[in-house]
Amino acid sequence: MAEVFDPVKGSEVNLEGWLDQVVQTWKVIPEVQLNPNKFKHLAIICDGNRRAAQLRGLNPWAGHRVGVEVIKGIMEAGRAWGIKHLTFWAWSTENWRRDPGQVDFVMNLAARYLRDPEAVDELIKHQVKFTHIGRKDRIPSEVRLAIDDLELQTAGFDKLFVNLALDYGGIDEAARAIAKISELIREGGLTELELAMNPGIILGFLDTGRQPAPDLVVRTGMPAEEIPRTSGFMPLQTVYSGWKFEPQLFPELTPQALLGDITDFLDYERRMGK
């Protein structure tokens, strides 16, 4: 599976400089320790990769390459700040409609970095459990095998949980959960009355299983003039989550901006229906 990339003339140097800038940005992580009882799960909708690249005169697909470095940086920040669960939404069920060349590039990129020895060693070193959420049946076989291998290699870890939402859609996830519940009811393992009396059972059949719901969801690339939208991300898990719509495009996200979003959330007192 060869990497597909057709940069704008002369943009290779610009891309290398951009990559270096992002790597250096995420090396300077504020020293903060979050209360693990108050903040357990951060989810991020990684939006704005293509726009960030176009603003630099680069092939829009280059933004996805830079986005990989931001994900790495956020994982490092999460470890430093004491966040136990991280979720990244990288590819939606609707994204398959995009230009075939872009689809190929993103899938090749995923296969490359899910198998990257250095990245895998980092996950193992820090005992990070990797989990894919979303559908696997439409993902190219090389990416699917890389996901399976990484899930298997990290299955026993519990220091940090990282979810990669690839071919994920909230309605699709709900439909798959309903199918599992229906099958369990048919087999006699669950009754409709039990489900009605304890609807929280549904959460256990979602892709995130027994993981805590996100405390905060940050969606990047949402300028103030746009009407915020969740695009169907974790509709059941996020019923009580906080949302921050960050104007910075995902490749432009900084540790300081992300920490600011988290601090704003923690400073806000949720009433939770009280």
Q: Known catalytic residues?
A: 47, 95
| CA–CA dist 102, 96 (Å, integer) | 9
* Sheet of strand 242-245: strand arrangement: 128-133, 160-168, 85-92, 41-45, 216-219, 242-245
Q: How many helices (H) and strands (E) does the chain have?
A: 9, 6
Grouping H, G, I as helix, E, B as strand and the rest as coil, residue 183 is helix
Element (H, E) at 217: strand 216-219
CA atoms within 13 A on the CB side of 197: 5
Q: Which residues of 134-148 are buried (b: 16+ CB within 10 A; e: fewer)?
A: bbeeebeebbbebbe
DSSP letter for 177, please: H
What is d(CA 227, CA 36) in angstroms, rounded to the nearest whole number?
32
